[in-house]
């Protein structure tokens, strides 16, 4: 019922039906258009000096083993090069030092 009331009030301000329809469509699509950018953003993996054992995969950083492997961060090891990159903070890495608690 609230939606119908809002549409009725909006219609009073826009007497031209084409103009009203355009405004209504923009109002309906705006939240999706704004949210889509944040949903589509890819999380970048920044090159790191955190050494890995050469097996492809993700792991949580442990500064007690290597100062470049920041605690609470998740890293991706490149199996071919033995180099890693840093995805940044991950809740489970901070809480329990594992990819999943």
Instruction: Report the pLDDT value the prediction gives residue 64, as an integer from 0 to 100.
Output: 96
Q: What is the pTM of this model?
A: 0.56
What are 30's two structure tokens?
Answer: 């705006």
Mean per-residue pLDDT of the chain: 77
50-94: pLDDT as tens digits: 998 878 999 999 999 999 999 999 999 998 888 999 999 999 999
What ranges do the domains of the chain cover? 2-40, 46-96
Q: Where are the beta strands (DSSP E) in 3-83?
A: 46-48, 57-60, 73-77
Per-residue CA distances from 66 to 54, 59, 86 (Å): 15, 13, 14
- For the cut 70, the answer to whether the pLDDT of residue 101 exceeds it is yes
Greater model confidence, 19 or 92 = 92
38 pLDDT tier (thresholds 50, 70, 90): very low
- For the cut 70, the answer to whether the pLDDT of residue 20 exceeds it is no
């Amino acid at each position: 019922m609230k939606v119908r009331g809002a549409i009725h009030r909006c219609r009073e301000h826009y007497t031209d039906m084409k103009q009203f329809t355009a405004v209504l469509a923009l109002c309906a699509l705006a939240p999706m258009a704004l949210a889509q950018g944040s949903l589509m953003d890819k999380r970048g993996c920044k090159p790191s000096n955190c050494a890995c054992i050469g097996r492809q995969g993700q792991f949580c950083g442990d500064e007690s083993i290597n100062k470049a492997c920041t605690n609470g961060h998740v890293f991706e090891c490149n199996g071919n090069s033995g180099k890693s990159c840093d995805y940044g903070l991950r809740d489970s890495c901070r809480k329990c030092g594992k990819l999943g608690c």
